[in-house]
Amino acid sequence: MEYYSWILTFHVMSFMSWMAMLFYLPRLFVYHVEHSHKSEFVEVVKIQEYKIYKYIGLPAFWATLLSGAAMLIINPVLLETGTWLHAKIAVVALLTAYSFSLEYFRVQLEKDECERSGKFFRAYNEVPTMLSILIVGYVVVKTFSLLFTSITLGVFAFIVYIIMQQKEKKN
């Protein structure tokens, strides 16, 4: 337990770095898709997409995962503290799948094979916000609330609906 607080600090910082990539990379995808006719611009964006995923996102993901596992190894009693940790781990699993999906889209965009629109990536960009709100809520309150979870999902479903209703931008 001597090092638990330091590992927790590292975990929070790693999570923040991972989230920075999860928030920003889909935004780059929007620019990439909506400015696909500007080849010089797209080439710069491709470099940014690669670097933010490979040099920031992926290392931060592994640091988050490994430090979280280390905290559970050092303090396994956490697994007995209620459903909030299990809910957090489930949401982290969704966030992990989302993170790897970004690499899938990045590779498609790099090869100029992506058929997704800017509107799709705008809506897709809401996913990490929603999931991070759930994670932080569970951790801070130390409980799993079906009401909190339902309201969060409902609000973000409405936001995505609004985004999808907007007209495509023409450039």
Q: What are the binding residues for heme?
A: 11, 88
Helices (H), the chain: 4-34, 39-51, 58-74, 83-110, 118-124, 127-141, 146-165
**What's the rounded Cα separation, in Å, for the pair 109 and 160?**
22
**What's the rounded Cα separation, in Å, for the pair 128 and 98?**
8
**What's the rounded Cα separation, in Å, for the pair 68 and 51?**
25
Q: Tokens in use for 143?
A: 């409980």
**What's the rounded Cα separation, in Å, for the pair 26 and 42?**
14
- Bind-site residues: 11, 88
Query: Rounded to 5 degrees, what are φ and ψ at 130?
Result: -60, -45
**In the Cβ-directed half-sphere of 41, how many Cα atoms lie within 13 Å?**
11
Q: Tokens in use for 75?
A: 């303090």
